[in-house]
């Protein structure tokens, strides 16, 4: 029994190419306040959205090894649509720990649409992925889908300049098609995009409902913890530690801005 409780108090590893995964971490911490988390931003290799499938698989293996060997995590959350869509089945085949992925919320969008048209904005890599193709095939047989790959948008969020002219121009460009359609649901298919919700909503208008995966991931994580008897037994609030493979000063600055609390990250090599 003591072995179980030791494992229960181990952290949950959460990773993304950069700061985007923090949008998922916010939801995880809200629903699972007693859990400990280790957040890793793989900023040395950001943006993931412009990498090949094989590069993404190799990066996911390295990060999983790092989490297991350095932090003895009990579970891993891939808080990145691009990495999930390109590498999660390979990661699950290679490792035994429970792994939760992030896939674009196409299913709820298809269920909620009244107009029969939904849109998704995602990184170029997610946009072209087999996973997304299959999600659209499975859930959108009677629904029109606008699948929009957004180059450079992930990178723009990384800088923390959410209200910059550059971000506004990119959003205007990529959301033009949504505005000119009768789409009533817009899926934010990259964990960086929820930080742009306000700007996106202003451009597409109040008639379009924005959907991201953060809350669904948190709920799924909770049910996996319960089913695997892995819930943290501590009664106090958990701790979160932050690492980046890039510049820790830059990451800490942007993360503090996005999380509205003081974050100090350490640099790590994986």
Q: How far apart are CA 35 and CA 74, in angstroms?
A: 11
Q: Is 190 a catalytic residue?
A: yes
Catalytic residue among 80, 85, 140, 150: 80
> What does each of the 270 residues of the chain score in pLDDT, given as a tens digit?
445 566 889 999 999 999 999 999 999 999 999 999 999 999 999 989 889 999 999 999 999 999 999 999 999 999 999 999 999 999 999 999 999 999 999 999 999 999 999 999 999 999 999 999 999 999 999 999 999 999 999 988 999 989 999 999 999 999 999 999 999 999 999 999 999 999 999 999 999 999 999 999 999 999 999 999 999 988 899 999 999 999 999 999 999 999 999 999 999 999
- Measure the CA–CA gap between 54 and 193, rounded to whole angstroms: 24
**What is the enclosing helix (H) or strand (E) of 138?**
helix 130-139
Q: Do 106-212 and 2-102+215-267 have the same topology in CATH?
A: yes
Selected from 3.40.50.1860, 3.55.50.30, 3.20.20.70, 3.30.450.40, the CATH number assigned to the domain covering 2-102+215-267 reads 3.40.50.1860
Instruction: Respond yes or no: is residue 150 known to be catalytic.
Output: no
Structure tokens at 220: 């799924």
Which one from 85, 140, 150, 190 is the annotated catalytic residue?
A: 190
DSSP3 helix / strand / coil % (the chain, rounded to 5) = 50, 15, 35
Q: What element of type H or E holds 31?
A: helix 22-31
pTM of the complete model: 0.93
Q: Give the residue extent of every domain in the chain.
A: 2-102+215-267, 106-212
């Amino acid at each position: 029994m003591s072995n179980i409780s030791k494992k229960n108090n181990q952290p949950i590893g959460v990773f993304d190419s950069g700061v985007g995964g923090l949008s998922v971490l916010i939801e995880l911490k809200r629903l699972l306040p007693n859990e400990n988390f280790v957040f890793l931003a793989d900023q040395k290799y950001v943006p993931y959205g412009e990498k090949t499938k094989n590069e993404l698989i190799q990066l996911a293996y390295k990060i999983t090894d790092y989490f297991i060997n350095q932090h003895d995590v009990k579970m891993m959350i891939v808080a990145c649509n691009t990495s999930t869509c390109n590498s999660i089945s390979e990661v699950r085949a290679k490792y035994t720990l429970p792994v939760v992925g992030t896939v674009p919320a196409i299913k709820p969008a298809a269920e909620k649409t009244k107009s029969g048209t939904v849109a998704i904005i995602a990184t170029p890599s997610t946009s072209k992925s087999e996973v997304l193709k299959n999600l659209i095939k499975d859930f959108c047989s009677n629904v029109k889908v606008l699948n929009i790959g957004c180059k450079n948008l992930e990178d723009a969020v990384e800088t923390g300049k959410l209200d910059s002219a550059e971000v506004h121009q990119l959003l205007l460009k990529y959301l033009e098609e949504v505005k000119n359609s009768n789409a009533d649901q817009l899926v934010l298919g990259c964990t960086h995009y929820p930080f742009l919700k306000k700007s996106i909503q202003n451009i597409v208008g109040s008639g379009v409902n924005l959907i991201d995966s953060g809350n669904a991931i948190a709920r799924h994580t909770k049910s996996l913890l319960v089913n695997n008897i892995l819930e943290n037994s501590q009664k106090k609030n958990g701790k979160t530690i932050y690492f980046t493979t890039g510049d820790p000063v830059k990451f800490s600055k942007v993360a503090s801005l996005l999380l509205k609390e003081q974050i100090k990250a350490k640099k790590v090599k994986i």
